[in-house]
Each structure stands twice: as C-alpha cells, then as structure tokens.
C-alpha cells in the first residue's frame, strides 16, 4: 500500500484524506501477484492518491467448486475481505474510505465487474475500472467446476466413490503446490475445442435441487446469477461510475501458444467451427455461421502464418472486445452512473507485456497499457521526459486518477495535458452510438470501436439470439 510521502510541514497539520485506488491483478485467476515489483506505485501516487494492491487465492485454492463446503469464488471473497479492510482502516494511512476506486486488468478486470454485480461488495467502493477484461468474456465464468474438482482428485490419485465430501477430504490432504501444479491437467480435449484454457474460474454459486425441482444457492453466495442476467434484472451496484476498455491487438497474447504448439493454426484450419461463440444459439446453423465468420475475417485465406493478423483480430473480438462492449452497453443502459469507454492504440516502448513475451509484431498486446500506469521494476528503462511514451503515460495516469477523484477522466477543461473532453456513453443509444476515447499519441473522441467488426457481431447476435446485448 502506497501514498505520496508527506513532508515535515505537511505533518504539522491535519491533511485532507486522499482518494483510494485498489488494484486487482490479472493472471487468468491462476497466477499473478499485486507486488510493487510488478506494479510500482510511483506514477499513480504522484497524483495524490493512495494505492492499495492485494493478493487473492488463485487456481483450485481460489476457485474450486464442490458443493456447500466448497461453493467456489473464494478468491473473489478474498477481494471483498480486502475491501472491508480498506473501509475500516485506510483512513489511518491517509486514505478516504468514502472515495474508493477499484481497478484491474484481465482477470482483475473481470473481478472488478463481478464485484459490481455482487451484493457482498455493495457500498465498499464508489468507482470502478476494468482494463482488457469482462465477466462476459468466454474465459471468465464456468458452468462445470464441480466436475473439474472430481477430475482434479482423480488425476492426483483419488480412487474412492464419486461423493463430494470424500473428494474434498482427499483434496484437503494434498499439498497446496501439488494442487496448483495439477490444475492444468483437468483441461479436457472438449475444453480445448471450446477454447477453455483456464481450469478454475468464477461460478454462479447455485445448484439444481432434484427434490424441489428448483435452483438453490449456497450460504452467503457471492454470485447468484450469470452476469448477463443480472444486468437485465438490474440486480447490480448500478450507482457506481464505470470505465472500461481494451487494447487494439489483445489476442497477440496467443502468439505465445503458437510457439508452444506450432500445429495450432492447422488445428483451427481443420476445425474452424470451434471458434463459434458458445452463447450464440446456432445449433442447427452451426456450419453456416462458421462459414460466415471465416469469410468475414479471413476472406479467401487459410488459417496459417499468412493470416495471423486476421486471426488476432478475430480472437481479440471473441475473447475480449465482444464481452467488454456488451458490458459497457449493459452498464450504461441499466445503470445510474456514467460509463466511459476507451481504446488503447499507442504502440510504444512502455508496452512491456509484449516485450516480456518476446513478440516483435506491431500492435498493442494484452497487458501493454500497464506500463503507462505502473513502474515495472524488472525493466530499467530510461526515457526522455519529452518522449511520446512519457506524454502518453502522463495523460493515462492523469485520466485514471481524475476518474478516481472526480468520477470523470477529464473534469477540467483548463488542463493543458487533457485538451480533449472524454464523453460518457449515451445510455439512451447504446446500440448505435458507443462513445469511446482513442488513446494513442494524441487523444481523440470517437464512436463505435472497430465499427465493421461491431456491426458483424451485432447482426449475428440479433439474428440468432434475438438481441445483440
């Protein structure tokens, strides 16, 4: 936890409490940490905020589901506990408990949205930012974690009856590191075909009661409905101002998988239908939809090295942008507070995640915006203060901390650093006019990110599901 150091003169008088920003790290609900070596506070605290980072349980320790004694979402409940600690104690560290902003990236961004949807977190924060992730992304939620718990036990040597009590008793006696190491072995061939690569993720904490023939919930559940249903029933923390956005080439992240499995492109070429979204109701039209998606993104190209750019665009939409866009629309339409959307398109030397992965391609990879908000300890970069990277970093930090302070990224029209006003999404026209800030070497307000791709998916969902949201 970090705040801007105070001088001796400051200490002589009571200082006003500072806005608080609580960071939730990413890592697919499977790995990661909030430590300052990865997420250095230097840039943010210079804008007079208190930064809190935290760790939460991950993998099977954080998201295994196996009945009422292990209902799931332990990692998310850790986040709630941390927010309660902030509420009760942050004033002693100079922070204002009545001005708390949660923000996160990837799985941390999905966590932010799930906290917005959970009654357990109501009143614990006042603004929220999701970067490159949504609870509506296909990797973010699971419907079969109890089966995965049984598979985990079997892969670790369990040979008893298929009873949750016995399975849990066995797993509790397995060393924690062995549980973590065995988690990837629970991914099945069917999971891979359905693009499920994260074994333990958040769940709805309910079950079907055969006796009463109705859905029931475990004690003190974190989540009782799927996120999309909660928006439509307006069952969420709707008075929280929200910011969300994405990087232009999020799916460049998957190039790492190509290195590990060079046959992946040919696997997709021979089974392109695996990319049809699971929530698209196309059982009888699956082959036709497969052809439509392929034609729109690839034209006459085959899936291969020559079409990597097209595949990055497709996977960016499927794995990130579609869910992020739907989240922005839902929160704007059904909520009572402003919603701001961004597109991060600046491909500079602080795009550190791409550098960590050793990806030489142009474009803004998943995680690349983080270097413009946090100081990464393991990259000793020396930048000219007049460089474009520093200018973009300064604007990003100012907009993010402005949002934490005022609920608007650009509240001051006189700020020479931010001469472009960031307009929120119009809640009365979310389908046709999705305002967003394009963050590149310059700032530019635009409407409808990736418009042709947005139109394609809107029409697809409208045709097969009856609604694009």
Which is it for the CA torsion 29, 31, 34, 37, positive or negative? negative
DSSP character at residue 319: I
Cα–Cα distance measured from residue 55 to residue 174, given in angstroms and rounded to the nearest whole number:
22
> Which two tokens mark 438?
């394009």
Q: Is 165 a catalytic residue?
A: no
CB 231 within 8 A of CB 339: no
State the catalytic residue, choosing from 3, 106, 110, 118: 106
Residues in the chain: 469
The tally of CA atoms less than 13 A away on the side-chain side of residue 369 is 27
For tokens 């603004």, name the residue: 127
- Helices (H) and strands (E) counted in the chain, each on its own, are 18, 10
The DSSP code sequence of 267-315 is HHHHTGGGGS-TTS--GGGHHHHHHHHHHHHHTT--SSGGGHHHHHHHH
State the catalytic residue, choosing from 47, 105, 250, 369: 250
**Closest Cα to residue 193, out of 274, 104, 84?**
274
DSSP character at residue 13: S
Please state at what angle helix 145-155 crosses helix 164-172, rounded to 10 degrees. Answer: 50
Cα–Cα distance measured from residue 343 to residue 244, given in angstroms and rounded to the nearest whole number:
9
Q: Is 366 a catalytic residue?
A: yes
**Closest Cα to residue 222, out of 83, 374, 47, 396?**
83
The tally of CA atoms less than 13 A away on the side-chain side of residue 52 is 27
Q: Provide the 10 A C-beta neighbour count for residue 280.
A: 17
- Alpha helical stretches, state H, 156-263: 164-172, 176-182, 189-193, 227-232, 255-260
State the catalytic residue, choosing from 366, 369, 389, 408: 366
Q: Is 106 a catalytic residue?
A: yes
Active site residues: 106, 250, 366
């Amino acid at each position: 936890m970090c705040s801007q150091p105070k001088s001796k003169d400051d200490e002589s008088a009571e200082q006003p409490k500072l806005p608080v920003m609580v960071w939730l790290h990413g890592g697919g609900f499977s790995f990661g940490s909030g430590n300052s070596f990865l997420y250095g506070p230097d840039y943010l605290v210079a804008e007079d905020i208190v930064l809190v980072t935290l760790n939460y349980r991950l993998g099977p320790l954080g998201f295994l589901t196996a009945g009422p004694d292990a209902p799931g979402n332990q990692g998310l409940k850790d986040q709630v506990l941390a927010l309660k600690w902030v509420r009760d104690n942050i004033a002693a560290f100079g922070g204002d408990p009545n001005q708390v902003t949660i923000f996160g990236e990837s799985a941390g961004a999905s966590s932010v949205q799930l906290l917005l949807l959970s009654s357990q977190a109501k009143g614990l924060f006042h603004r929220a930012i999701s970067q490159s992730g949504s609870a509506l992304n296909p990797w973010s939620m699971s419907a079969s974690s109890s089966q995965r718990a049984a598979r985990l036990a079997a892969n670790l040597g369990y040979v008893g009856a298929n009873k949750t009590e016995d399975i849990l008793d066995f797993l509790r006696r397995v060393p924690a590191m062995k549980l973590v190491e065995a988690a990837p072995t629970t991914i099945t061939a069917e999971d891979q075909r359905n693009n499920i690569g994260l074994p333990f993720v958040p769940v709805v904490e309910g079950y079907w009661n055969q006796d009463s023939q109705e859905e029931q919930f475990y004690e003190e559940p974190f989540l009782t409905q799927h996120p999309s249903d909660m928006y439509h029933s307006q069952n969420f923390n709707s008075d929280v101002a929200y910011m969300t956005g994405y990087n232009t080439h999020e799916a460049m992240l998957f190039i790492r998988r190509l290195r590990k499995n060079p046959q992946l492109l040919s696997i997709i070429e021979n089974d392109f239908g695996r990319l049809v979204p699971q929530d698209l109701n196309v059982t009888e039209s699956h082959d036709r939809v497969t052809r439509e998606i392929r034609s729109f993104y690839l034209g006459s190209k085959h899936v291969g090295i020559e079409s990597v750019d097209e595949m990055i665009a497709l996977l960016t939409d499927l794995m990130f942008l579609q869910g992020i866009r739907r989240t922005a629309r839902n929160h704007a339409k059904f909520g009572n507070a402003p919603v701001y959307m961004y597109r991060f398109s600046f491909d500079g030397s602080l795009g550190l995640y791409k550098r960590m992965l050793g990806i030489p391609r142009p474009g803004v990879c998943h995680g690349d915006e983080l270097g413009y908000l946090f100081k990464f300890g393991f990259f000793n970069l020396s930048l000219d203060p007049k460089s474009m990277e520093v200018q973009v970093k300064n604007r990003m930090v100012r907009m993010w901390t402005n949002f934490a302070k005022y609920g608007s990224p650009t509240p001051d029209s006189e700020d020479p650093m931010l001469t472009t006003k960031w307009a929120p999404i119009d809640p009365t026209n979310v389908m046709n006019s999705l305002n967003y800030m394009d963050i590149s070497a310059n700032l530019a307000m635009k409407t409808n990110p990736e418009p042709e791709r947005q139109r394609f998916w809107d029409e697809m969902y409208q045709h097969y599901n009856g609604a694009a949201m």
